[in-house]
Amino acid sequence: AAELEYESVLCVKPDVNVYRIPPRTSNRGYRASDWKLDHPDWTGRLRVTSKGKTAYIKLEDKVSGELFAQAPIDQYPGIAVETVADSSRYFVIRIQDGTGRSAFIGIGFTDRGDAFDFNVSLQDHFKWVKQETEISKESQEADTRPKLDLGFKEGQTIKLNIGNMTSKKGGAAKPRVSGSGGLSLLPPPPGGKIAVPPIPPPSSTAIANHVTPPPVQKSSNASSADILLDLDAPAAASKAPVSATADLWGDFSTASSAVPNQAPQQSNWVQF
């Protein structure tokens, strides 16, 4: 698996300064003010790479690309990379060679943005390492758990009960949707008939009671009898004088017979 791993570049900064630092005298941390910041011991290019879960800080020559020193990092933050107490542009890294020897040196960036990119590249890498470790741990725990057998046994059947479904043909019918401007009517129930209510025959008394004659105006020439006007006659016919002898009401002969015979007189009613 180690042979299949490839090296990826996380960050490249063209200018970095390297300093020899004095040994730590106390646990208060490193301070960049104790270094000779105006006179760096080496200047070159910094490259941060990763291979698998390990990150590498490589110090290389700007022109030839020859490797000057290398610092492998297994975790961050950790002893391999430490920040100084008085600045965000300087770090202390632990370099190692192939023989197993190690030393602590100081590195610094002229631009504060370069230091920020260097710090973020290491944080992102080890955040990914942490997620990969958790995923592999969960997969191993899932493999050790007993697996559930959810398959059907021989001869085993299931029954599905789906509610709110009518299997009979005579189930409740859906109401019809009326068209635009139409009247929404429900269909008749299956097997039944709609009983049409009988229409009562017209009654002469009811029709007579439906028409209310206008009030009688008091006049010396008008008689005491009530004279009804034909309200259903056309407008042209209403302009002509009403004849007393004409039968205007048809079926109201019964009501007319109750009026005593009088000489026809001119009617003073206002026609509507």
pLDDT value for 127: 92
Cα gap 158→151, rounded to integer Å: 12
**Average pLDDT of every residue of the chain:** 73
What residues contact residue 255 under an 8 Å CB cut-off, 6+ apart? Answer: 208, 249
β-pair partners for 47: 12, 58
pLDDT value for 200: 64
Q: Give the model confidence (pLDDT) of 178-221 as tens digits.
A: 555 555 566 666 665 555 566 666 555 544 454 455 555 554 44
Share of the chain above pLDDT 90, in %: 29
Check if the beta carbon of residue 213 is closer than 8 Å to that of residue 231. Answer: no
Render 182-251 in DSSP notation, one character per residue: ----PPPPTT--PPPPPPPPP-HHHHHHHS-PPPPPP-SSS-SS-----TTS-HHHHTSPPPSSS--STT
Q: Give the model confidence (pLDDT) of 100-125 as tens digits.
A: 789 999 999 999 999 999 999 999 99
Q: What's the whole-number mean pLDDT along residues 35-42?
A: 90
Cα gap 167→210, rounded to integer Å: 55
7-132 — its CATH code?
2.30.29.30
Asked whether the whole model's pTM tops 0.85, one would answer no
Q: Give the model confidence (pLDDT) of 125-145 as tens digits.
A: 999 999 988 888 887 776 676
β-pair partners for 13: 46
Is the predicted pLDDT of residue 98 greater than 80, yes or no? no
Q: Give the model confidence (pLDDT) of 235-268 as tens digits.
A: 444 444 444 444 555 555 555 454 455 545 555 5
